[in-house]
Amino acid sequence: MKQSVKQLKCEMCDSTNLIKQDGMFVCQDCGAKYTVDEAKKMMAEASAGVPAEVPAPANNDAPTSLIRARQSLAHGEMTAAKEYFDRVLDDDPENAEAWWGKFLADFDVTDENAFFKKPDLYLFRQIENNSNYREALQYAKEPFLERVNNFKAEMENHSEIARKNEEKACFKIEPDTSYKGHPLCLKGVTLTAEARYYSNLVIPEGVKIIAEHAFSGCTFKRVTFPKGLRAIEGRLTGKIDEVCFPDLVTLYTTHRKDSAEYGLTYNDKTRVLIDGKELPEELEIPADITYIGEAALSGFKKLKKVSIPDSVTEIGRGAFYDCRSLTDVNIPNGVTEIKEDTFDGCGSLTNITIPSSVTKIGIRAFHWSGLTKITIPSSVTVIGGQAFSSCRLTEVTIPGSVKTISGSAFYGCCELTDVTICEGVESIGDAAFKKCEKLRRIIIPKTVKSISTSYSEPVFEECNNLKEVTIPKKLAGLFHSKLKEIFRGASKKIKFHLI
């Protein structure tokens, strides 16, 4: 039988809500206990007009700070509760109840049963990652251990319920049938009014590539990617709290968060977060990968060697941008284009073989790389602007299959001494060989019909050691008045050989 005794006033918390229970008078707010003799004394003093206060009970098992913490937590005063729990932990770092109380305060709940009112997998994962919760698990002992184990069991049960509910409620989308020549790609998500009711996104099986900015403007708690996914192009934009990948799939991609770059590798059932400092020095891309996404490995400054399988037929823009330590990488025979900025900034890359399947070398493809020699195959028809600018090339032969040497293609190649332009090349763009300070000779074939006469960006400006130029007689006559501009800033002792 419980008897309320309003005359009593608890010294610990000043509450008058004390109830007689099991032979003791128990404060319902802070849990302090008083003996019958203490209660009689208090009631006698109250009858005589003495303030009804009792000294702190000697038989109370909990320290004052823990009692205050319990009271604050029960009243929803989370900041105060944490402060009192911290005081308890100052004296007893292994007090599981104090860690548990801080965990509850972190989630602004007074009782752990509040977590089960609406099962939420995302919430349960947050709980599992909460440091105070983990500390409570570590130090829990009987009788408190029973409370912890009961909570864990309930969370497992409710997790299964939540998982089944989410499988029914996930927002699903249909993929595009083709994107950049690749089948079944996710090009973009158009959110409808229906999607606002879902927190998770499931991408259907069959999707092979996630296009750049596919989730731009979207907000999801979780995105589940399908089996068979091969690449993510660019970065996962949008707000995504959690990503789920299937087993045995390896993806290489980069993300930006708070202006910092980091990458994700998912492999063999394990999700590993990798940043530029921790990325392995050597990577072997799996044999079933067909596409390396845009900026896939950009910025990984310790990466030294990458082995690319023959299955890869496309390498995205900037895939190896600013991989400053990269010394060894292969381009599979099947890749048709070395795209914009692919090896830009790879200062340690001194040699690379361009296969005969390549037809185009894009803008800044090897800009600021460490190339000292290169063989351009006769399959190449386009050399983009600044493609080899600021490299360390010592000599180069440009095949006749290339019709135009684009502007600044070899700009700033300070070690370049010899250039051979084969029959078939038709035009040379602005500043194509500007600042090639060690260039000694160049052969311009009869097929060249046009050389840029730009005043601001002369083709051979600052080629201070240029001594021999072989040039078609017809071209020399056509551009006679412009030769000074074409070679402005070059050596004044150039010997012209007319052919």
Task: List, for residues 333-347, the tens digit of each pLDDT value.
Answer: 999 999 999 999 999
* CA nearest neighbour of 38 among 71, 70, 11, 1: 11
- Asked if 210 contacts 184 with a C-beta cutoff of 8 angstroms, the reply is no
* CA nearest neighbour of 57 among 67, 49, 72: 67
- Same domain (yes/no): 106, 15: no
pLDDT digit string, tens, across residues 349-371: 999 999 999 999 999 999 999 99
Structure tokens at 189: 């998500």
pLDDT exceeds cutoff 60 at 181: no
- Same domain (yes/no): 34, 70: no
Task: Determine how many CB atoms are found less than 10 A away from the CB of residue 145.
Answer: 13
Place of tokens 């038709």: 426
- Same domain (yes/no): 154, 95: yes
Q: Of 61, 80, 104, which closes a domain?
A: 61
Q: What is the mean pLDDT of residues 193-221?
A: 64
pLDDT exceeds cutoff 50 at 248: no
**Single-letter residue type at 139:** Y
pLDDT exceeds cutoff 90 at 199: no
pLDDT exceeds cutoff 80 at 27: no
The pairing of strands 252-257 and 260-267 is antiparallel
* CA nearest neighbour of 411 among 430, 437, 394, 435: 435
Give the least confident one: 156-170, 200-214, 460-474, 480-494: 156-170
Q: What is the mean pLDDT of residues 380-403?
A: 96
First to last CA, the chain: 119
pLDDT exceeds cutoff 70 at 239: no
pLDDT (0 to 100) of residue 174: 58
Q: What is the mean pLDDT of residues 484-499?
A: 78
pLDDT (0 to 100) of residue 238: 60
**Cis, peptide link before residue 143, omega less than 30° from 0:** yes
* CA nearest neighbour of 38 among 22, 54, 20, 60: 54
pLDDT exceeds cutoff 50 at 263: no
Instruction: Check residue 298 and report its DSSP letter.
Output: T
- Asked if 127 contacts 119 with a C-beta cutoff of 8 angstroms, the reply is no
- Same domain (yes/no): 141, 81: yes
Detail the DSSP E strand segments found in 258-311.
260-267, 270-275, 282-284, 291-292, 305-307
As a residue count, the chain comes to 499
pLDDT (0 to 100) of residue 276: 37
For 259, phi then psi, to 5°, come to 65, 5
Question: Does the residue 344 lie in any domain?
Answer: no
168 burial (CB, 10 Å; 0-12 / 13-18 / 19+) is: exposed
- Same domain (yes/no): 50, 78: no
CA distance 81 to 102: 8
Q: Of 61, 83, 100, which closes a domain?
A: 61
Q: Which residues pair with 428 in a beta bridge?
A: 405, 451
- Same domain (yes/no): 416, 456: yes
Question: Does the residue 431 lie in any domain?
Answer: yes
User: Which domain range does residue 129 map to?
Assistant: 62-169
- Same domain (yes/no): 45, 68: no
Mean pLDDT of the chain: 76
CATH number at residue 159: 1.25.40
pLDDT (0 to 100) of residue 277: 39
% of the chain at pLDDT higher than 90: 30
Q: What is the mean pLDDT of residues 260-278?
A: 35
**What are the DSSP calls for 41-68, one per residue?**
HHHHHHHTT---B-PPPTT--S-HHHHH
If DSSP codes are grouped into helix, strand and coil, which group holds residue 254? strand
* CA nearest neighbour of 116 among 162, 147, 78, 70: 162
- Asked if 377 contacts 397 with a C-beta cutoff of 8 angstroms, the reply is no
- Residues contacting residue 457 through CB under 8 Å, at least 6 positions apart: 407, 408, 430, 431, 434
Question: Does the residue 271 lie in any domain?
Answer: no
CA distance 130 to 138: 13
pLDDT exceeds cutoff 80 at 303: yes
Residues 425, 428, 429, 431: what is their CA dihedral angle, to the nearest 10 degrees? Answer: 140
pLDDT (0 to 100) of residue 474: 80
- Same domain (yes/no): 101, 35: no
Q: Structurally, how many domains does the chain consist of?
A: 3
Give the least confident one: 194-203, 263-272, 348-357, 397-406: 263-272
pLDDT exceeds cutoff 90 at 219: no
Largest Cα–Cα distance in the chain?
A: 129
- Same domain (yes/no): 55, 74: no
Question: Does the residue 81 lie in any domain?
Answer: yes
- Same domain (yes/no): 68, 53: no
- Same domain (yes/no): 395, 459: yes
pLDDT exceeds cutoff 80 at 182: no
Instruction: Using the CB atoms, write b or e for 81-118: b if 16+ within 10 Å.
Output: bbebbebbbeeeeebbbbbbbbbbbbbebbebeebbee
pLDDT exceeds cutoff 90 at 114: no
Task: Determine how many CB atoms are found less than 10 A away from the CB of residue 411.
Answer: 23
- Asked if 73 contacts 99 with a C-beta cutoff of 8 angstroms, the reply is no
pLDDT (0 to 100) of residue 259: 29
pLDDT (0 to 100) of residue 28: 72
Q: What is the mean pLDDT of residues 418-444?
A: 93
Question: Does the residue 273 lie in any domain?
Answer: no
- Residues contacting residue 193 through CB under 8 Å, at least 6 positions apart: none
Higher pLDDT, 16 or 46: 16
Q: Of 117, 148, 169, which closes a domain?
A: 169
Question: Does the residue 181 lie in any domain?
Answer: no
* CA nearest neighbour of 252 among 333, 328, 311, 306: 306
- Same domain (yes/no): 406, 496: yes
With bands split at pLDDT 50, 70 and 90, how would you rate the model's confidence at 291? confident
pLDDT exceeds cutoff 50 at 270: no
CA distance 371 to 413: 10
pLDDT (0 to 100) of residue 95: 92
Task: Determine how many CB atoms are found less than 10 A away from the CB of residue 190.
Answer: 8
Q: Which range among 51-55, 169-173, 258-262 has the greatest average pLDDT?
A: 169-173
pLDDT exceeds cutoff 50 at 194: no
